Structure 1
Amino acid sequence: MSARAEGLRRALPPRPDAPAERFSWLRSLTPEQARDAALLEHLDALCGHLAGKPALGYAPDDPLPDAALEAAEGFNPQLTTLITRYRAARAAAHDGAQDAARADGPGRGR
């Protein structure tokens, strides 16, 4: 994933850090470049999350951002398999938590 992100970063014009300059930069991109810039943002967010540096708005123990997973999906077969397994495990954990909440919920004689 980091190799894909670096490839996108090299293919795009240099991205400024200042917000006003970043806005002008985004407006100057072609539609294809804008798509690649959005993909780069998602991949950076996913790589950061995996490295323990989650994107703004995400705690380190939050599930991986869906937008980042979608951006990384299809990059290579191994990564796509890992994402599929991660989503299945996350769904199973969510379902298990809901089952536990129902078992402890009202109507149990408390």
Structure 2
Amino acid sequence: MTTSTAEAASAALVAALRGPLQNALAERADTIRQALPARPEGPEERLAWLQALGQEDARQAALLDRLDALCAHLAGRPALGYPADVPIPEAALEEAEGFVDAEVAALITAYRKRSAEPFQSIESSHDCDEDSGGCD
């Protein structure tokens, strides 16, 4: 497969995954949002809200923030902590697992496989001999 063909296949895979992943993560976020007390918008009010939450609700609030950030990233607004040049962070795939149908799960597997390929080809293109102390 040529580079442009591989890039086109990767772009098509990203396009096929982006919507279903964003939907799955948004549905999870909405479920959590409905279960938590109303979350204020202002920073001072948000801090007081977080401090008033119990341990389980605080954990759910943190997950809600993570899911919201991942949804934004998938929508083209890179989130802090996720590289802007990575269209679908591994964290989004992890959070979607178990919340998508078999077809999307198969696309996730294909995306992970394709994402790993460049690293494999780079490693296999160098002949390293640790005994002689170097790589060709």
Q: TM-score, normalised by structure 1?
A: 0.68
Considering only CA atoms, is the larger Rg found in Structure 1 or Structure 2?
2
Aligned to 2:77: 53
Q: Which runs of 5+ in 2 are unaligned?
A: 1-23, 128-133
Q: Partners in 1 of 2:50 and 2:108 — Cα distance?
A: 29
**CA 1:16 to 1:83, structure 2 compared with 1: closer, same or farther past 3 Å?**
farther
State the AA in 2 paired with 1:91: A
The one of 3, 8, 21 equivalent to 2:45 is: 21
Q: Partners in 1 of 2:54 and 2:44 — Cα distance?
A: 18
- 49-58 or 13-22: which moved more? 13-22
CA offset at residue 22 of structure 1? 2.5
- 89-98 or 39-48: which moved more? 89-98
- 90-99 or 48-57: which moved more? 90-99
Q: Alignment RMSD, CA only?
A: 2.7
- 12-21 or 45-54: which moved more? 12-21
Structure scoring higher RCO (CA < 8 A, sep ≥ 6) equals 2
Aligned to 2:4: none
Q: Which runs of 5+ in 1 are unaligned?
A: none
Count, aligned residues: 105
**CA 1:107 to 1:82, structure 2 compared with 1: closer, same or farther past 3 Å?**
closer
**1:1-41: CA deviations, max 9, x gaps?**
21221121122122233334323222222222122212212
CA offset at residue 52 of structure 1? 0.6
